[in-house]
């Protein structure tokens, strides 16, 4: 999805308590240049979709990943009827899915119990990969590191598509892109079309946009640490009224990123409520609160499987994990419900700042449930 608009600058103006944004209209397109190169996450989606439409398809990969069987199934008619007509059935089903996904967090702590769970899961996924993929590709596909150290890849037909005679899977490095193909370390490979399935720059936060706050840019902010970091994964000191969606350490290795995005949005709306209500001109995070939070996150991540030693986009060259959230999403959800107002500084307007709190019974029940779930999963 594109909106033909690029944000080139976002600069905080203290005198107006507003951000000045520089926008640019962009005309986008794509060049048809067919070899396929890239990482597993994108490749497992593209390869089975196009292999039957090609004369030949070569997938060039650099590393290995654990590829899990996707939990896809067809909902029976009776269950669809229940979701449509039974009150709260769909919400309970979603909660059930969330709890199943959150249960996988037990794999990530660097404890003896979690190590046993990872070994058991490793045996299961390796059995699936060996049974589904051609034997000639096992040495390219099956990793030698712990389950969970890299992002989980869900298979929806990819491993089976490797049996197609049109497809060739090779592990090598590309040294040059040429008009009629690619130059590899082991020779030249001709290609009519080149598909760059190299994923996203997930560990580069706003690399093409200058974001300037009251005390410098985001690049300056990152230099304070060994990499990107943000309070509650979304706020940075010196950037009033500014919040990140899926910011540093908001990603998970076990559940949907949409839940993390929803938590970020809900948290931002709670913190910004005095501004949105016209009771404050701006709100900014205290530096000491951000420092305490960021270093607490990094300390917790040192005891998680993402820092176990495999090369992944979770950890940068300085061993700073800027991607993963070290606790469960239930923990993040619960934390996002209650801003710690002592960590924030407000610039008042003429009206006094008040923070009325009203509670409804359903909200109280959900908060109690969230606290129990959060505590349970955090200390598994």
| Among 20-24, 274-278, 334-338, 374-378, the least confident range | 374-378
**Residue range 212-348 in CATH 3.50.50.60:** yes
Shortest CA distance to 228 belongs to which of 314, 299, 309, 304? 314
Stretch 110-129: mean pLDDT, rounded?
A: 96
Give the chain's mean pLDDT. 84
- 353 three-state secondary structure: coil
Whole-prediction pTM: 0.79
The residues spanned by each domain of the chain are 33-190, 212-348
Q: What is the DSSP string of 199-257?
A: ---TT-SSTTSEEE-SS-BHHHHHHTTTS---BTTTB-TT-TT-B-TT-TT-B-SSS-H
Confidence of residue 298 (pLDDT cuts 50, 70, 90): very high
* pLDDT tens per residue, range 213-272: 999 998 899 889 988 999 999 999 999 999 998 899 998 878 888 899 999 999 999 999
């Amino acid at each position: 999805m594109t909106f033909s608009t690029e944000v080139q600058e976002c600069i905080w103006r203290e005198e107006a308590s507003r951000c000045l944004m520089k926008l640019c209209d962009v005309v986008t397109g794509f060049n048809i240049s067919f070899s396929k190169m890239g990482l597993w996450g994108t490749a497992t989606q593209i390869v089975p979709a196009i292999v039957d439409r090609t004369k030949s398809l070569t997938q060039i990969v650099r590393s290995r990943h654990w590829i899990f069987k996707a939990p896809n199934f067809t909902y029976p008619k009776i269950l669809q009827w229940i979701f449509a007509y039974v009150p709260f059935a769909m919400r309970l089903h979603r909660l059930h899915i969330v709890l199943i996904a959150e249960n996988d967090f037990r794999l990530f702590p660097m404890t003896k119990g979690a190590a046993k769970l990872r070994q058991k899961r490793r045996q299961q996924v390796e059995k699936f990969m060996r049974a589904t993929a051609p034997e000639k590709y096992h040495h390219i596909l099956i990793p030698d590191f712990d389950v969970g150290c890299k992002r989980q890849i869900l298979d929806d037909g990819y491993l089976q598509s490797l049996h197609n005679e049109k497809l060739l899977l090779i592990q090598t490095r590309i040294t040059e892109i040429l008009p009629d193909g690619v130059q590899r370390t082991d020779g030249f490979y001709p290609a009519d079309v080149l598909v760059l399935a190299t994923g996203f720059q997930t560990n580069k936060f706003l690399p093409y946009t200058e974001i300037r706050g009251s005390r410098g840019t985001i690049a300056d902010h990152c230099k304070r640490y060994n990499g990107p970091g943000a309070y509650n994964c979304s706020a940075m000191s010196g950037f009033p009224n500014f919040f990140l969606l899926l910011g540093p350490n908001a990603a998970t290795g076990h559940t949907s990123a949409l839940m993390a995005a929803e938590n970020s949005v809900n948290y931002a709306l709670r913190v910004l409520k005095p501004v949105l209500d016209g009771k404050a001109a701006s709100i900014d995070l205290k530096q000491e609160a951000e420092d305490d939070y960021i270093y607490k996150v990094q300390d917790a991540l040192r005891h998680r499987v993402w820092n176990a030693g495999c090369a992944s986009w979770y950890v940068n060259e300085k061993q700073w994990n800027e991607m993963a959230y070290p606790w469960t999403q239930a923990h993040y959800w619960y934390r996002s419900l209650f801003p710690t107002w002592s960590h924030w500084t407000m610039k008042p307007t003429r009206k006094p700042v008040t923070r009325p709190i009203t509670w409804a019974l359903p909200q109280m029940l959900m908060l109690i449930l969230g606290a129990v779930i959060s505590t349970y999963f955090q200390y598994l």
